[in-house]
Amino acid sequence: MHGDNMYKLLRELFPFCRSITGGGVRETFKTIARQIPLEVTEIPSGTECFDWTVPPEWNARAATLTGPDGKLVADFAANNLHLLGYSEPVEGEFTLEELRPHLYSDPRRPDHIPYLTSYYKRRWGFCLRHRQLENLKAGVYKVKIDTTLAPGSLTMAECFVPGRTDKEIFFSCYTCHPSMANDSLSGVVLNVELCKHLLARGGDHHYSYRFLFVPETIGAIAYLHRNQQRVLDKTYAGMVLTCLGDPGDFHYKKTRQGDHQLDKIVENVLKHSGKPHELIDFFLPGSDERQYSSPGFDLAVGSLMRSVYGFELYHSSGDGLEFVTADALGGTFAMYADVITALEGNFRHRNLKPFCEPFLSKYGLYQTLGAQRDLDSQIKNILNVLNYSDGTRTLAEIAERTKLNLLELVEVAKILVDKGLLERSGEPD
């Protein structure tokens, strides 16, 4: 169900010509706002954000490249990747030799249109399949690029879902890629689905959650600049959502800290999911964790992906609707939902009967754990939670030390609290 919802939204958003600014981003937010309440913010062109300046707004209406035989070589209407992102407007006739510096292709992936942009240097150009570029005939070509580059604004959006505490966990996706399915859009649709998942709890959760939709780099920078103090004061952890819809194995890029509770949680959830996965230490470059985890902010931000960016068809027309599946999106949603469940249950506890083990059958603890595998593992979970809960360790730390399933420990701890054997004694650091 979640996978189908996400794939449907992804199909709807796919054709919009998104960029770091412009109408495609606003259209995207209008569509998303039919599913979740979105607070949209416009940052005017020219606004200084730390070391960066918000660029002019770019809008593309049409772009065509017509060959000497009068046939279309590239048409923005057929595929928006044909137009170099942020191309300035041009109209005229060019010989093939004059045109060549404005034509881009990728010989490594000759059958796909590459995705290229030029946000901060004024250029114009067309992106072509390399095979097509190689076969262009000499002659005069007609270029028509109908775009505007003018003062306007950068558009970003967020949805805040308050919990019992004002400590925040954020999920951030980027909304600046045009028709690309796995890179960028899979993160957008997962963000929407996770937001719906949290909203459905009606505030019954510990942390407050913030779902961010920002253009990559400049958007994250503008967001952090605008909300610097709150972000520093309130953020507990965050995740950058991208590359989540292909059927590849899971990859978790750890936080810059490397041993944050979030890292322990995701590692444990992945390990006990039985799904193939790989853990990767924090590295640069990457996506918006570069900004969130810059030393001034130093936020704990991880990224749980399927195929890591840089995959074979990355930044090309090969990353299309057929590259992602509803099944893979649904599987990713389930993994994130488990991470949220674990985050929500990851507290320190104190054993209220610390002198020797309690007499478990007195508390009816042999029958209550229906969801867990067998009596032996239930008892093992109970004994470990009781033993290690001396107020110093979180459940994630207990799970790490004992190699037990954190989601089961979270369930066990809730029951032990209900039975009066355990009390919650503190939040994780």
- The residues that touch Zn ion, with contacts defined as CB under 5 A, are 183
When the beta carbons of 73 and 243 are compared against Zn ion, the nearer one is 243
Q: Which runs of E-coded beta strand occur in 220-375?
A: 235-240, 250-253, 277-280, 301-305, 348-351
Least distance between Zn ion and beta carbon 207 (Å): 29
How far, in Å, CA of 191 to CA of 170, rounded?
10
Q: How far is the CB of 347 from Zn ion (least distance, A)?
A: 37
Dihedral sign computed on CA atoms, order 79, 81, 85, 88 = negative
Task: Provide the 10 A C-beta neighbour count for residue 419.
Answer: 17
CB distance 186 to 243 below 8 Å:
yes
**How near is the Cβ of 116 to Zn ion at its closest, in Å?**
11
Residue whose CB is less far from Zn ion, 317 or 346: 317
Contact predicate 346/394, CB 8 Å:
yes
Q: How far is the CB of 115 from Zn ion (least distance, A)?
A: 7
Scan for tokens 């772009």, then name that residue: 63
- d(C-alpha 44, C-alpha 333), whole Å: 34
- Assess contact for 227 and 274: CB atoms under 8 A: no
**CA–CA gap between residue 356 and residue 77 (Å, rounded):** 73
355: how many CB neighbours lie within 10 A of its CB? Answer: 6
Shortest distance, CB of residue 315 to Zn ion, whole angstroms? 6
Q: How far is the CB of 177 from Zn ion (least distance, A)?
A: 6
Closest approach of Cβ 310 to Zn ion, in Å?
10
Closer residue to Zn ion, CB minimum distance, 183 or 289: 183
Cβ atoms 320, 181 nearer than 8 A:
yes
Tell me the residue nearest to Zn ion as measured from the CB: 183
Q: Least distance (Å) from Zn ion to the CB of residue 190?
A: 16
Chain-centre distance of CA 285, in angstroms? 16
CA distance 116 to 86: 9
- For 402, residues 6+ apart whose C-beta sits below 8 A from its C-beta are 384, 388
Query: What phi and psi values does residue 206 have, to the nearest 5 degrees?
Result: -70, -55
| Minimum distance from residue 125 beta carbon to Zn ion (Å) | 18
Measured from the CB atom, is 183 or 411 closer to Zn ion?
183
3-class DSSP state for residue 139?
coil
**CA gyration radius, the chain:** 25
Q: Which is nearer to Zn ion, 310 or 420 (CB)?
A: 310
**178 vs 238, which CB is nearer to Zn ion?**
178
Measured distance CA(350)–CA(21) in Å, rounded: 51
- Complex with Zn ion: residue 183 or 267, whichever CB lies closer: 183
Pairing of strands 90-95, 140-150: antiparallel
User: Is 184 or 378 the residue whose CB approaches Zn ion more closely?
Assistant: 184
> Residue 33 corresponds to which tokens in the numbers above?
């706002």
What is the nearest approach in angstroms of Zn ion to the Cβ of residue 80? 15
Instruction: Pick between residue 176 and residue 265 the one whose CB is nearest to Zn ion.
Output: 176
- Residue 183 vs 400, nearer CB to Zn ion: 183
